[in-house]
């Protein structure tokens, strides 16, 4: 999911990323660097020796916790045990994506790891750093199954004509709601699909006078949700095809349509229909509001499915939740979660690509680069992709995954699976023409949007004036980034 954490790209812009680009461009591999054709990058897989001592490589990751972190460590352990050519050492760099990116950018050009697991939104910055070998360069060698990558995921990660990551984990925004409170309010057990429907349901819930209910809707003040709502109506955040047809040079989100969306959301805050939950690291209030009955509807990441399930403590089964009538539930059950696609302005399910991805760096020897690609090939195999979904709650980027028996069992037999099934279908249906924004100085861009949303929703600023200033500030940040780095 999108976060508002500061990263090191602003620092690199200040000192000039060009030096790092030049240094990294001389590496042994076929990494993307300024002035090169990414689509023609060479695959280093053949440089991995067939025999001899194991080639040792490093993997840095961050932003993973709970089961997702367990999947990562177990997968590295299983890969190391499965063959005799490569030894991967994985190092956790912190609980936030920002921490691994801070360390990575500080290590450019000659101390970076062989693989870095980073947030999806950092793809453009990593490409611009000149330190990445695109995973798509090894597609013909079976590393990345491009013919099976979900279309919108392929579109999002294709830059300069190349599919950039070595492997991808996807999450999307989604709707969760408490069926029990819907029933108590005399409402149909149906997830709202548009902002208008969300507001209408929120008003009915508030008018019902339900015990404990304070704010019908709970969500963090997160630019991710604004990007989603605007993308669903075809509103780009930056020019040049939302940054996919070349480096963005200006922000373009200050439109009458965006002003209308901001005013609609602000009115819900002003009328006490939305809980004021800040977008701070480790924030859990949005979950607690749902679990404690203070809120009925929740906008959150699809990876929250297992968290929602854990809140129930085994009091409900997937079969009970799938039934149309909740009358047979015990009175001790206060939360009966329902799931739906992320609501939109006009229709639900129009979500951007988010999550994390593995990037192979051009650090080290050709043998190390080849070893890194071999590990990416392993991560992309169906059993590992199934594990990311069933254990880590990441959506499948490979369209073959949903047909696997373990996944079908999850989708039909687990509460988290009921949610993930909707999220996976939502992702698969998104048009590749609408993959989400790609911005080089992403940390500054998100920080500006974050402050703009907080000023409007939490401090009563005028939406039109706040959007005008935010667009000017983002444009300035993009122009400074491009000027500093020669784009």
Element (H, E) at 446: helix 442-457
Residue 428 tokens read as 């698969």
User: What is the Cα–Cα distance from 480 to 472, expressed in whole angstroms?
Assistant: 12
Alpha helices (H) along 121-216: 123-128, 151-157, 179-184, 195-207
Residues 6+ apart with CB under 8 A from 383: none
Cα 401 to Cα 154, 167, 179, 439: the distances in Å are: 16, 14, 29, 30
- Asked whether the bond before 19 is cis by omega within 30 degrees of 0, the reply is no
Give the CA angle between residues 128, 132, 134 to the nearest 5°. 110
The two three-digit tokens of residue 274, written as one number:
């939305």
Separation CA 78–CA 70 (nearest Å):
12
pLDDT at 310: 83
Q: Please, what is the angle between helix 256-270 and helix 442-457, to 10°?
A: 50
What CA–CA distance (Å, rounded) separates 296 from 209?
A: 12
Backbone angle region of 132, left / alpha / beta, with phi > 0 → left and psi within -120 to 50 → alpha: beta
pLDDT at 138: 97
Return d(Cα 278, Cα 281) in angstroms, integer: 9
Taking the C-alpha atoms of residue 290 and residue 482, their distance in angstroms, rounded to an integer, is 43
pLDDT of res. 331: 67
Residue pair 52/180 in contact (Cβ under 8 Å)? The answer is no
CB 307 within 8 A of CB 287: yes
**pLDDT at 41 (0 to 100):** 86
The Cα–Cα gap between 108 and 164 comes to: 18
pLDDT for the residue numbered 35: 41
pTM comes to: 0.91
Centre a 10 Å sphere on the Cβ of residue 325 and count the other Cβ atoms it contains.
8
Can you spell out the DSSP letters for 50-112? SSSSPEEEEEEE-S--HHHHHHHHHHHHHHHHH-SSEEEEEEE--SSHHHHHHHHHHHTTTS-
In the numeric block, the tokens 């076929």 are attached to 30
Calpha distance 234→45 (Å, rounded): 39
Tokens found for residue 309: 């399930």
**For residue 469, how many other CB atoms are within 10 A of its CB?**
16
- Euclidean distance between CA atoms 361 and 293, whole angstroms: 47
pLDDT of residue 40: 73
Between helix 405-413 and helix 382-390 the angle, nearest 10°, is 10
CA distance 318 to 248: 45
pLDDT in tens, the chain (487 residues): 544 333 334 444 433 454 444 444 434 444 544 444 556 789 999 999 999 999 999 999 999 988 999 999 999 999 999 999 999 999 999 988 889 989 999 999 889 999 999 999 999 999 999 999 999 999 999 999 999 999 999 999 999 899 999 999 999 999 999 999 999 999 999 999 999 999 999 999 999 999 999 999 999 999 999 999 999 999 999 999 999 999 999 999 999 999 999 999 999 999 999 999 999 888 899 999 999 999 999 999 999 998 888 877 777 888 878 766 676 666 678 899 999 999 999 999 999 999 999 999 999 999 999 999 999 999 999 999 999 999 999 999 999 999 999 999 999 999 999 999 999 999 999 999 989 999 999 999 999 999 999 999 999 999 999 999 999 999 999 999 999 989 8
**Is there a contact between 5 and 444 (Cβ–Cβ < 8 Å)?**
no
Angstrom CA distances, 430 to 167, 230, 342, 358, 386, stand at 20, 14, 12, 22, 21
Domains and CATH numbers, the chain: 9-171+352-429 (3.40.190.10), 173-351+439-478 (3.40.190.10)
Please list the residues that pair with 338 across neighbouring strands: 177
CA distance 397 to 58: 24
Rounded to 5°, the CA angle 32-34-39 comes to 40
Determine the length of the chain: 487
- In 3D space, the residue among 104, 93, 90 whose CA is nearest the CA of residue 62 turns out to be 93
Which residues have C-beta within 8 Å of that of residue 459, sequence separation ≥ 6? none
């Amino acid at each position: 999911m999108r976060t508002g954490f500061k990263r090191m790209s602003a620092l690199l812009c200040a000192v000039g990323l060009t030096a790092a680009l030049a240094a990294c461009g001389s590496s042994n591999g076929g990494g993307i660097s300024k002035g090169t054709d990414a689509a023609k990058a060479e695959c280093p897989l053949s440089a991995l020796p067939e025999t001899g001592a194991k080639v040792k490589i490093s993997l840095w990751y961050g932003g993973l916790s709970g089961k997702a972190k367990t999947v990562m460590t177990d997968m590295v352990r299983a890969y190391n045990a499965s063959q005799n050519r490569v030894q991967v050492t994985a190092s956790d760099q912190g609980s936030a994506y920002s921490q691994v990116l801070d360390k990575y950018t500080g290590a450019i050009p000659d101390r970076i790891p062989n693989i870095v697991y980073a947030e999806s939104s950092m793809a453009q910055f990593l490409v611009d750093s000149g330190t990445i070998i695109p995973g798509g360069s090894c597609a013909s060698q079976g590393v990345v199954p491009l013919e099976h990558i979900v279309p919108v995921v392929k579109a999002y990660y294709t830059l300069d004509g190349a599919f950039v990551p070595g492997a991808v984990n996807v999450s999307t925004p989604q709707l969760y709601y408490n069926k029990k409170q819907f029933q108590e309010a005399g409402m149909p057990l149906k997830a709202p699909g548009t902002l208008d429907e969300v507001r209408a349901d929120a008003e009915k819930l508030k008018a019902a006078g339900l015990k404990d209910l304070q704010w019908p809707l709970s969500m963090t003040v997160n630019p991710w949700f604004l990007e989603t709502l605007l993308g669903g109506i075809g509103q780009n955040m930056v020019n040049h095809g939302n940054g996919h047809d070349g480096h963005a040079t200006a922000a373009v989100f200050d439109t009458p349509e965006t002003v209308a969306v901001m005013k609609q959301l602000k009115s819900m805050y002003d009328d006490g229909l939305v809980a004021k939950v800040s977008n701070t690291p480790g924030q859990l209030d949005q979950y607690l509001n749902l679990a404690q009955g203070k809120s009925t509807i929740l906008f959150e990441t699809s990876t929250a499915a297992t968290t929602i399930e854990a809140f129930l403590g085994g009091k409900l089964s997937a079969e009970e939740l799938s039934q149309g009538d909740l009358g047979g539930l015990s009175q001790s059950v206060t939360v009966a979660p329902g799931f739906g696609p992320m609501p939109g302005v006009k229709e639900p399910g129009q979500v951007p690509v988010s999550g994390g991805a593995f990037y192979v760096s051009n650090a080290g020897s050709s043998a190390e680069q080849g070893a890194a690609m071999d590990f990416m090939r392993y991560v992309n195999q169906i059993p590992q992709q199934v594990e990311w979904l069933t254990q880590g709650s990441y959506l499948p980027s490979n369209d073959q995954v949903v047909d696997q028996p373990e996944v079908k069992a999850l989708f039909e037999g687990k509460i988290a699976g009921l949610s993930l099934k909707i999220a996976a279908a939502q992702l698969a249906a998104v048009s590749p023409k609408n993959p989400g924004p790609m911005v080089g100085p992403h940390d500054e861009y998100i920080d500006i949007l974050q402050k703009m949303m907080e000023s409007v929703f939490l401090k009563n600023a005028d939406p039109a004036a706040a959007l005008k200033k935010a667009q000017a500030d983002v444009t300035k940040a993009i122009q400074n980034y491009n000027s500093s780095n020669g784009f």
